[in-house]
Structure 1
Amino acid sequence: MTGHAHVVTSGEGRTVDLGVARMRVLADDAVTGAFSLTEFAGEAGGPWTVPHLHHGFEESFFVLDGEFTFTVGGEPIAAAAGTYVLVPKDTAHTITAGPGGGRFLTLMVPGGLEKMFVELGELPANAITDPVARKEVSSRYDSIPV
């Protein structure tokens, strides 16, 4: 039996406005059965997220455009286009965009965390950076603010 390619072209894919950034879903765990792949894009400003960690999965980031600071386990990592960052399970992390903002891909293994961002996108602007709103939604998705 031959499978069918899952294709998301430029401008396609579910997009969620998170205030400080936008998330575009390229593949979720319903499509892959194993992981989720998303693209985040936004402007410079404060952190794009609150400090948090995940017990049950790892996140990877690949910077496409711009410059970011990924703080992983308390260590700031300067990341320009072409940089890959893996955040291990149980490791606190945050993301801050540099001047001009930028874009990166996020790989979540196993998948499912993109559903949290969809929920956060339905709340008031920038709920992703609001510790109270984030804690309530995050607890259902193994994204624990620290």
Structure 2
Amino acid sequence: MSTMLLPGRAHTVAPGAGRVVDLGITRMRVLAAGDETTGRAFTLAEFAGAEGPWTVPHLHERMDESFFVLDGGFTFTVGDEEIPAGPGSYVLVPRGTRHLLAAGAAGGRCLVLMVPGGQEDMFFELGELGADSLRDPAVRAAIAARYDSVPV
């Protein structure tokens, strides 16, 4: 359940708490939903999951997306560049840039900052459509217009 951030009050999420959605290969835990930030300024979520690509190649026309690796190893494909990233690594994907994220052999965990917020709603909808809908280009294409996540 989301609430608007009130002046003078902190928004907190205890360890293991927060709204969670199982997306098959990965799981998302929302730390700050877009509607909990002033003017839907951002969304912050933790993703944790198994080895392999977590999504399809896609881009966002109105959103910048940042990744901070907490555990494991990842390969980020941003445009034509492959970027290996381990714990403590940060990757910023500017809007309009094709990208893909794949976890290494041990899987991984990362924080994802989406600016502006609201993208978490797409993940909740995908979670209702089946365990691997995140990586299904046809499913992604069907809802892309509503969520600024265009498979390419």
Tell me, what secondary structure is at the counterpart of 1:9? coil
Question: Which consecutive unaligned segments of at least 5 residues does structure 1 have?
Answer: none
Aligned CA distance change for structure 1 residues 2 and 117 (closer, same or farther; 3 Å): closer
Alignment of 1:41-120 (within 5 A): 41-45=48-52, 47-120=53-126
Q: Report % sequence identity.
A: 61
Q: Distance in 2 between matches of 1:101 and 1:135?
A: 26
Give the TM-score normalised by the residue count of structure 2.
0.93
Cα deviation for residue 2 of structure 1 reads: 5.2
Q: Distance in 1 between matches of 2:51 and 2:151?
A: 22
Deviation beyond 4 Å, 4+ runs, structure 1 = none
Cα deviation for residue 11 of structure 1 reads: 0.9
Q: 1:19: which partner in 2?
A: 24
Amino acid at match of 2:88: G
Aligned residues: 145
Amino acid at match of 2:26: A
Cα deviation for residue 70 of structure 1 reads: 0.6
Whether 1:123 and 2:101 are equivalent positions in the alignment is no
Q: Distance in 1 between matches of 2:114 and 2:102?
A: 19
Q: Distance in 2 between matches of 1:121 and 1:2?
A: 32
Question: Which consecutive unaligned segments of at least 5 residues does structure 2 have?
Answer: 1-5
Give the TM-score normalised by the residue count of structure 1.
0.96
